[in-house]
Amino acid sequence: MTQSTWDAVDAYFSEQLVGHDPALEEAAVAADAAGLPEIAVAPNQGKLLHLLALTQGARRILEVGTLGGYSAIWLARALPADGTLITLEIDPKHAEVARGNLARAGLDKVAEVRLGRAADSLAALVEQGVEPFDLVFIDADKPSNPEYFRRALQLTRPGSLIIVDNVVRGGAVADADSTDPAVVGTRVLHELIAAEPRVTATSVQTVGSKGYDGFTLARVQS
């Protein structure tokens, strides 16, 4: 099986289970038109994030890595009217596109894009002693995954769910000799999780329109 099969299956699932969704389609078109990289989650992956947020009964969601706000729309749609999503983005153009997309999706009341280095924004959230988040989605620069995960632990509570995207990268994660900073970051993340008694976690490989990749789910236990 190859990429064209994975594309066809993703197209089939997305057609059956996501369907026509103007806000999401407009968000993807606006991101393309602004020249953003095509690295947002696929529709059926976005819906998985949405379902996980619903399952969590999430009222507060934190996202690291906004891009054009595509995954943020999926996540924010799971929130109650008085819920909050904070999404962190370093690139002013990405943040601007995301704000437009979230507004067009009717989510600007619940979703806020914070511009800056995620490491700084996360430190500020910890410093401010904000209420814990029920779900954290980590999807920014992969070398920083260990730091983002440590911060996520400081910003969550027992029962919270931490999700990390792109942990497989075509299988590169299994290469212990890799010097690719993204791979090293993801391997250090797994060492951190393995040694962390406060979480129980698993990682799953995926194929689809985004290629061969995967994600990690970690539930905060204590």
* Residue ranges that bind Mg ion, judged by CB under 5 A: 139, 165-166
Of how many residues is the chain composed?
A: 222
Question: Helix %, strand %, coil % for the chain, to 5?
Answer: 45, 20, 30
Which parts of 64-123 interact with ligand SAH (CB under 6 A)? 65-67, 70-71, 88-91, 94, 117-118
- Tell me if 18 contacts ligand DHB by CB under 6 A: no
Using CB under 6 A, pick the residue from 111, 165, 199, 206 that binds ligand DHB.
165
Using CB under 6 A, pick the residue from 156, 166, 209, 216 that binds ligand DHB.
166
Nearer to Mg ion, 59 or 214 (CB): 214
Contact 213, 155 (CB under 8 A): no
CB of 88 to ligand SAH, least distance (A): 5
CB of 139 to ligand DHB, least distance (A): 5
Contact 111, 87 (CB under 8 A): yes
- Measure Cα distances from 74 to 18, 70, 101, 162 in Å: 11, 7, 12, 16
DSSP per-residue string spanning 3-52: HHHHHHHHHHHHHHHT---HHHHHHHHHHHHTT--S-SPPHHHHHHHHHH
CB of 51 to ligand DHB, least distance (A): 18
The residue number with the shortest CB distance to Mg ion is 165
Which parts of 30-49 interact with ligand DHB (CB under 6 A)? 39
Per-residue interface string for the shown chain with ligand DHB, residues 86-125, x marking contact by CB under 6 A: ----------------------------------------
- Cα–Cα distance for residue pair 12/210, rounded to 1 Å: 15
Helix (H/G/I), strand (E/B), else coil: 94: helix
- Measure Cα distances from 130 to 61, 89, 156, 189 in Å: 12, 19, 10, 24
Provide the binding-site residues for ligand SAH, judged by CB under 6 A.
Answer: 39-41, 65-67, 70-71, 88-91, 94, 117-118, 139-141
Q: Which residues bind ligand DHB (CB under 6 A)?
A: 39, 139, 165-166
